Amino acid sequence: MNLRLVAAALGALIAVLGLLMSTAVPWSLHVQDGQHFAFLLVIVSCVIVGGTVFFLLRDPDAEYGLRDAFAIVTLGWLSVGLVGAVPYVVTGSLPTFTDAVFESFSGFTTTGATVLDDIEKLPHSVLFWRSLTHWLGGMGIIVLSVAILPLLGVGGMAMFKAEVPSPVVDKIKPTVAATAKTLWKVYVVFTVAEILLLYVAGMDFFDSVCHTFGTLATGGFSTKNLSIGYYQSPLIDVIVIVFMLIAGINFTLHYQALTGNWRAYLRSEECRLYLIIYGAATAFICWNIYGTGEGGFWAGLNKSAFQTASIMTTTGYGTTDWERWPWACQWLLVTLMFMGGCAGSTAGGMKCMRLVIVGKHVLRELKLLIHPRAVIPLKIDRRVVSPAIINSILAFIGLFVGVWVVSTLLLVILNIDVVTAVGATTATLSNIGPGLNKVGAADSYGWLPVPAKWILIFNMIVGRLELYTVFVLMVPDFWRK
């Protein structure tokens, strides 16, 4: 590993983060919440420290190796999460270190779990920063999952190698830069569109911006204690539903659609399954909650469509308390928590694609029992998936379940009841946000003991970085020359 290169990259990252943080200052000045000095202090420190490290250590001719890339991704996410916690502390919004770090990582990993019981009392600039961490995290994730992880071969993401047209494909730096630019354009287009639509639908401009950040990043931080439920507006619900669903689809498909190839969505098996499961789950829930106090048919359809989208895309916004719904709805939503959205989107969870491949693998093994000597290729979108990718995906799911079991056990040992522990682990590892029972939609994570918060922070990070990106740093081999 080239330590110098890694340090330079982290320096640049922090300096850029400082510059982006400056977008919170106008909000502070606009509403006069008195936090602009606190923000300026953090911004200047970030730019000076990060910039200095970058300019001292940078080496424009160096090429990144595999280990450098792993280190930059994981350590980069860690640094950004830690630095992002500073505004919460200096503004006095979250005085304890653990809570600030929890909220910051929850933002950057687009999880949306909060330690705050009363969100609305936060200064506007802090609320903006909180939502901005989602949006930036979402940007990071898109590039990570479409451009970086495929090159690193993490969790079967190699399947998406070079799906986006790019001038150079054999070198990490230019490929990543080109892909990032392309996808970020798409991300910005959707961002502008949703802000405008929400504003037109009656949300004020500040809230439109913050909720757009939370939607497109599948984050879930709101500026209201009642989340989207605050607005009681079916029109706003529908806008948020549509953009949550958009955010849960592979962004390379959006790129293709925006450049004229609208059929790309339907040609992708993963996207088809995602939409079919979404439709089926919504219909099932709508049918089950009919007559249980969620209003008439249209109100019930709205609520089931919203909640299913929110959980499938791992956003975590709410318009109702689905823990009062019939058990069958709850069980279905919990299983969807594990699945998550499409690979290459901002959604978390295991991703539809991986489950498609597991399903096909299971069916193939059935056929192999009847024809033991047959060679049966596993295909996705008419292309053969290599055994290496299948192995990688199966290992990913194994690791996911392993982390899930251990994390839940640790929480339960800390004397948290089983349902809350299961909910908290799932909601953080899948980057959803609200969990079950005492960390449900109507509750915060604030009451949890400090060790539990750190376990959940760990879950958010490993869940977001597709597990292997983090765990690879824990293998002794990684640090050997």
Per CB under 8 A, which of residues 173..212 are in contact with a copy of itself?
none
Residue 383, beta-bridge partner list: 380
Residue 421 within binding range of a copy of itself, rule CB under 8 A: yes
Q: For the CA atoms of 42, 109, 6, 69, what is the dihedral angle to 10 degrees?
A: -160
Q: Which of 364, 380, 444, 446 binds a copy of itself (CB under 8 A)?
A: 364
Region at 112 (left for phi over 0; alpha for psi -120 to 50; beta for the rest): left
Residue 368 within binding range of a copy of itself, rule CB under 8 A: yes
- Residue 442 burial by Cβ neighbours in a 10 Å radius (0-12, 13-18, 19+): middle
Q: Applying CB under 8 A, what is the total number of residues that bind a copy of itself?
A: 53
Contact 139, 247 (CB under 8 A): no
Q: Which of 165, 174, 398, 451 binds a copy of itself (CB under 8 A)?
A: 398
Q: Which of 56, 189, 200, 409 binds a copy of itself (CB under 8 A)?
A: 409
Residue 447 within binding range of a copy of itself, rule CB under 8 A: no
**DSSP string across 235-247:** HHHHHHHHHHHHH
Q: Which range, of 234-242, 244-252, 343-351, 366-374, touches a copy of itself by CB under 8 A?
A: 366-374
Residue 387 within binding range of a copy of itself, rule CB under 8 A: yes
Per CB under 8 A, which of residues 310..329 are in contact with a copy of itself?
326-328
Q: Which of 22, 23, 96, 330 binds a copy of itself (CB under 8 A)?
A: 330
Residue 418 within binding range of a copy of itself, rule CB under 8 A: yes
Q: Which range, of 71-79, 199-207, 237-245, 414-422, touches a copy of itself by CB under 8 A?
A: 414-422
Contact 462, 379 (CB under 8 A): no
Distance CA 368, CA 372 (A): 5
Residue 259 within binding range of a copy of itself, rule CB under 8 A: no
Q: Which of 24, 240, 332, 352 binds a copy of itself (CB under 8 A)?
A: 332
Distance CA 81, CA 330 (A): 32
Distance CA 459, CA 439 (A): 15
Residue 415 within binding range of a copy of itself, rule CB under 8 A: yes
Region at 331 (left for phi over 0; alpha for psi -120 to 50; beta for the rest): alpha
Nearer to a copy of itself, 29 or 412 (CB): 412
Residue 477 within binding range of a copy of itself, rule CB under 8 A: yes
Q: How distant is the alpha carbon of residue 268 from its chain centre? A: 21
Least Å distance between CB 235 and a copy of itself?
Answer: 33
Extract the runs of DSSP E, i.e. beta strands, from 47-168. Answer: none
Nearer to a copy of itself, 17 or 152 (CB): 152
Region at 352 (left for phi over 0; alpha for psi -120 to 50; beta for the rest): alpha
Q: Which range, of 65-73, 247-255, 310-318, 449-457, touches a copy of itself by CB under 8 A?
A: 65-73
Q: Which range, of 50-58, 188-196, 454-462, 464-472, touches a copy of itself by CB under 8 A?
A: 464-472
Residue 86 within binding range of a copy of itself, rule CB under 8 A: no
Whole-Å CA distances, 339 to 166, 190, 295, 355: 30, 24, 29, 7
Q: Which range, of 275-283, 306-314, 437-445, 468-476, touches a copy of itself by CB under 8 A?
A: 468-476
Residue 377 backbone dihedrals phi, psi, to 5 degrees: -75, 150
Neighbours of 437 (CB within 10 A): 16
Name the residues that contact a copy of itself, by CB under 8 A: 66-67, 70, 152-154, 326-328, 330-332, 335, 358-359, 361-362, 364-372, 387, 390-392, 394-399, 402, 405, 408-409, 412-413, 415-418, 421, 468, 471-472, 475, 477-478
